[in-house]
Structure 1
Amino acid sequence: MKPARALLLAAALLLPATASALTSDRNQPIQIEADQGSLDQGNRSTEFSGNVVIQQGTMYIRAAKVRVVKAADGAQTMTASGSPVHFGQQLDRQGTVKGLAARVEYQSATGIVKLSGGAKLERGGDRASGDTITYNTRTEVYTVLGGSRSNANKGRVSITIQPQQK
């Protein structure tokens, strides 16, 4: 298999096919741009670095570095790092979800996205921020942790919930 094709295939494995994400995204081609890419077949890992942009339909990830590891059972773990990592996606229901953090980890088997290091998440007008945010892409439920008391928010989380429109 050609290295470029293998990189594309490996990157395709990291993109979520979630119930709450725009359903048509799963059927869209995956576009990947980066300054560099490498594939380690022995370790079942692929790495992209330098202005990494991954897009499939409305879903996007922008990071300085992305690493994908495929387990023997086929499940993938994607870890993106940067200053910060950005991600977002249109939802089947109305609106979009957007997030940013120093590090974003995605587990394909569970649909869980973990944002850590100055994590922020926004869905519609609702916002959450803390040291770590764990977001379930299938149920749209998120948990926010404050982290160390020495950080700017003194270990506390911040959540803003907009009133429901009538």
Structure 2
Amino acid sequence: MPFRLPLLTAIALAAQLSIAGAQGMAVGFGGLRQDTGAPVEVTADALKVDNATGQATFDGNVVVVQGAMRMAAAKVTVDYGANGQGISRLHATGGVTLATSAEAAEAAEATYEVATGGLVMTGSVLLTQGGSTIAGERLVADLRAGTGEMQGRVKTVFQPGQKGGN
């Protein structure tokens, strides 16, 4: 019967996707792997610094570059480390896009822990890896290790014959 194998494959994929939707889906981030020790460059329309809180707020067409990774957002708040030494955390809001040459992710907001490489993106997250996409409500990634998990109601589209991170 010519339809048996494709039907079984479709059923298996549907079962895998419903499990993924309920529990979250592990994804690979080889293209988002990041050198967390690389310098961080920030460009924006405006900058406000608050020495009392150890924060700087970049506003308007913000672009953050670290190594091969580029993040764009409407607003980025930077938390500095102890005694104002180094950047400890970036919190981006307003149409956040994170991209490398191999992968891209979009969300409403993102928090990036510079020293550890921890990344959390929330709010209608869409991750594109090659021709494949994964969508969910929350993406938790370790950019140092190149691993991550999409959480919430997960939906994915795989392109046959292409290697994706999923």
Q: Sort the TM-score into its range (normalised by shorter chain).
A: 0.5 to 0.7
CA distance in 2, matches of 1:122, 1:65: 23
CA distance in 1, matches of 2:118, 2:158: 22
CA distance in 2, matches of 1:142, 1:130: 12
Aligned length: 130
Specify the code of the residue in structure 2 equivalent to 1:108. V
TM-score normalised by structure 2 residue count: 0.66
TM-score normalised by structure 1 residue count: 0.66
Higher relative contact order (CA 8 A, sep 6+): 2
Specify the code of the residue in structure 2 equivalent to 1:132. R
User: How far 1:54 moved relative to its partner?
Assistant: 2.4
- Identity in percent: 31
User: How far 1:107 moved relative to its partner?
Assistant: 1.0
CA distance in 2, matches of 1:159, 1:86: 19
Unaligned runs of 5+ in 1: 1-18, 91-95, 147-155
SS of residue paired to 2:38 = helix
CA distance in 1, matches of 2:103, 2:111: 16
CA distance in 2, matches of 1:128, 1:165: 14
Unaligned runs of 5+ in 2: 1-31
Cα RMSD of the aligned pairs, angstroms, is 2.9
Matching residue of 2:99: 88
1:1-166 counterparts in 2 under 5 A?
20-21=33-34, 26=38, 30=41, 32-72=42-82, 76-82=88-94, 84-90=95-101, 96-146=102-152, 156-163=153-160
User: How far 1:38 moved relative to its partner?
Assistant: 1.3
Alpha-carbon deviations, 1:20-69, whole Å to 9, x = none? Answer: 33x6x937x83x33221011122111110011122345321111100011
- Of Structure 1 and Structure 2, the greater helix share is in 2
CA distance in 2, matches of 1:60, 1:33: 11
Alpha-carbon deviations, 1:98-154, whole Å to 9, x = none? Answer: 1110001101232111110011112223321111111221222221111xxxxxxxx
Specify the code of the residue in structure 2 equivalent to 1:106. Y
CA gap 1:57/1:74 in 2 versus in 1, 3 angstroms: closer
